[in-house]
Amino acid sequence: MSQQANTTGSSTVAFPLSSVVVEWDDYPREDLDEDRVLEFRELLRDAEADSVLPPVELVPHPDAPDRFLIADGFHRYHAHLDEGRDTIPAVLLPRGTDVFLHGVRRAAISAKPLTRVEKRAAVVRLLTEHPDWSNRQVADAAAVSRPFVAQLRSGGNVAPSQSSELDQREDAKGGPSAESKPDLARQAVWQLVESYRLGFGRTKLGLGAEIQPDTIRSLVELLDEEQSAHAVKALRAWGRALADERAWLPGGTG
């Protein structure tokens, strides 16, 4: 495992399941969705479909050599475990990555977002662990509204913000800065991509609203060139429900 432990980045490595450590305190959800685990198990049994599952994301354990904390992919991990697999495809994140915060951010752009109860618990924890963060920073991390964060902060069970002036400056400018919009668009596109991939091509997002081609195009157009190319590549691979690419590609050309 020493070679794998030094492999940090986007490359996928087959990690022994025995080396993966589950810390439930860092899991942002209340419990596992057993139906979701079953769906993943069925995909693993299908030789032509198991590669559809993305790799889990691991972080080197701070205290145990050759052990890795799971930061994203709890359902996939348990599907591999239940299927008796010895290894699991994984991407190794940098040492010191905040496992809980990473899990919250990944859940925000997944096909299965956190419930409101789970988001509330995540916000309270982020406010407690990061009292210097503004309401906007916490809201962006947890994919919730700033009023939702402000309400929880004022409840008396978390520390007051030491950066409330950041929120005041944003209010004076009329909202989040222009620099933050590409990140929001990228999150929206990837949520759509995840919805396609895990929903087997269904054009559904959020609360079941159908996604129109012009909506996708408007999101992709907000990304920079590199982000746009990455999103388009993913949509081409997974968005099979949109057979006519000319309807949603920026510029409307195939």
Looking up tokens 């992919």 gives: 73
Residue 254 has pLDDT above 60, yes or no: no
At 88, which amino acid appears?
I
Say if CB 196 and CB 238 are below 8 A apart: yes
Q: CA-based angle 61:71:4, to the nearest 5? A: 50
Say if CB 164 and CB 154 are below 8 A apart: no
Strand ranges for 115-239 from DSSP E = 204-205, 209-210
Residue 86 has pLDDT above 90, yes or no: yes
Please state, in angstroms and rounded to a whole number, the distance separating the CA atoms of residues 92 and 107. Answer: 18
Q: Which domains does the chain possess? A: 2-98 (3.90.1530.10), 114-176 (1.10.10), 181-252 (no CATH)
**What confidence tens digit (pLDDT) does each residue in 222-253 have?**
666 776 777 776 666 554 445 556 666 666 54
Residue 33 has pLDDT above 50, yes or no: yes
Among candidate residues 111, 109, 121, the one with its CA nearest the CA of residue 29: 121
Give the length of the chain. 254
**What confidence tens digit (pLDDT) does each residue in 140-177 have?**
888 888 888 888 887 644 444 444 444 445 444 444 44
**pTM recorded for the entire structure:** 0.59
